Amino acid sequence: MTTLLPDPSAAGTGVSVPSFAVISGGQVADALRGREREIIALVEDTYRVHGCGDSVNPPSYFLRFPDRPTARIIALPASVGGSTRVDGIKWISSFPNNVATGVPRASAVLILNDPDTGYPFACLESSIISAVRTAGSAAAAADWLSRDRGRPRRVGFIGVGLIARYIHTYLAASGSRFDAVGVHDLDPGSAAGFCAYLAAAGEGGRVDVHDGPESLIRSSDLVVFATVAGRPHIHDPAWFDHNPLVLNVSLRDLAPEVLLTATNIVDDVEHCLKADTSPHLAEQLTGSREFLHGTLDDVMAGRVRIPADRPVVFSPFGLGVLDLAVGKFVYDHVGRSGGLQVVDDFFHEMRRH
């Protein structure tokens, strides 16, 4: 923490409380730009810290509204140890109807808490942090899950909003090169916008826009789902007969029958088997968790091998510990560059009596 304020009532105890800073989206973007490989490594390290139990990551809390059934706000409280060592919470809204007016679906803040005093010490714009940790996780999964199967050369994106854009950026930054990029979205405007992004990003592969998901899936060896589908719309396991690697980022597109033909890897078993995700539906259908093969941490540690002769599906529920790790990375970077905007007198009542 920077700028420490002594607590007068705790004289002699060495206890002090941190200052409180607000970090804007512009500062977050500046801190993360060009650091994709560092973020992927940070995401992998955080999965390892979580995998060895040096974290607390309770279930996300979903706030829903009877009068706005497509909207939700999710609270992701967490605590992460390792070299990050921070507590906090992400509070992220998903309002899919925003997109029709040109406004991004998700908006978010992240609060970081000091693990010694509990005091919150920063509030960060967090839609970018959330997108970056999601894309970092996807790029890490694409790497680790293809090591025994050959690198994908034909990627296909189903649902091409902001998250798909960040995932493509992270795949490219991690060294993936594609001969072909397939694009499918129910909304032609979103497909066109994503194609314009691909051109501006210098994507060298041929870009094909598909009218439906089947031809895209059949022609891709890496398939990325980033839709806002609430229930499965992909039912036929035969579309996956060529054994692609699937990044199931939006979690609810695939019917459980598709997962039952695949090797299934998640970020966290307890988290992922909730909230009507495709793995949750597969558990309900089969009455067991045997269709799950392990976590990405298991794969990184060599405890689980990925066979080449069946599809592999990575379903990341999205862990609050990743938001904290990336948020602390941003906070430290902004602090080192002297750009912290501290709110003076934020913690004002500093005497107990």
Can you give the binding site for ligand NAD, defined by CB under 6 A? 94, 96, 99, 105-106, 130, 134, 158-164, 184-187, 190, 226-229, 233, 249-251, 316, 318
Contact 126, 110 (CB under 8 A): yes
In single-letter form, the type of residue at position 205 comes to G
> What is the smallest separation between the CB atom of 185 and ligand NAD, expressed in angstroms?
4
**Closer residue to ligand NAD in complex, CB, 94/117:** 94
Contact 280, 274 (CB under 8 A): yes
**Closer residue to ligand NAD in complex, CB, 47/119:** 47
Contact 152, 142 (CB under 8 A): yes
**Closer residue to ligand NAD in complex, CB, 27/137:** 137
Q: Which residue has the tokens 């004002």?
A: 348
> What is the smallest separation between the CB atom of 297 and ligand NAD, expressed in angstroms?
16
Contact 339, 27 (CB under 8 A): yes
> What is the smallest separation between the CB atom of 346 and ligand NAD, expressed in angstroms?
30
> What is the smallest separation between the CB atom of 17 and ligand NAD, expressed in angstroms?
32
> What is the smallest separation between the CB atom of 99 and ligand NAD, expressed in angstroms?
5
- List C-alpha distances in Å: 350 to 15, 118, 127, 256, 343: 12, 14, 32, 54, 15
- Tell whether the torsion through CA atoms of 210, 212, 218 and 221 is positive or negative: positive
Question: What distance in Å separates the CA atoms of residue 76 and residue 297, rounded to the nearest whole number?
Answer: 20
Chain position whose Cβ is nearest to ligand NAD:
161
> What is the smallest separation between the CB atom of 128 and ligand NAD, expressed in angstroms?
11
The residues that bridge with 292 in the sheet, in sequence order, are 264
Ramachandran sector of residue 12 (left: φ over 0; alpha: ψ -120 to 50; beta: rest): left
**Closer residue to ligand NAD in complex, CB, 17/226:** 226
> What is the smallest separation between the CB atom of 187 and ligand NAD, expressed in angstroms?
4
**Closer residue to ligand NAD in complex, CB, 251/299:** 251
In single-letter form, the type of residue at position 45 comes to D
**Closer residue to ligand NAD in complex, CB, 5/275:** 275
Please state, as a whole number, how many other Cβ atoms lie within 10 Å of the Cβ of residue 67.
5
Q: Which residue has the tokens 């995401």?
A: 43
In single-letter form, the type of residue at position 342 comes to V
**Closer residue to ligand NAD in complex, CB, 146/190:** 190
**Closer residue to ligand NAD in complex, CB, 179/187:** 187
> What is the smallest separation between the CB atom of 166 and ligand NAD, expressed in angstroms?
8
Question: What distance in Å separates the CA atoms of residue 155 and residue 5, rounded to the nearest whole number?
Answer: 51
Question: What distance in Å separates the CA atoms of residue 249 and residue 134, rounded to the nearest whole number?
Answer: 8
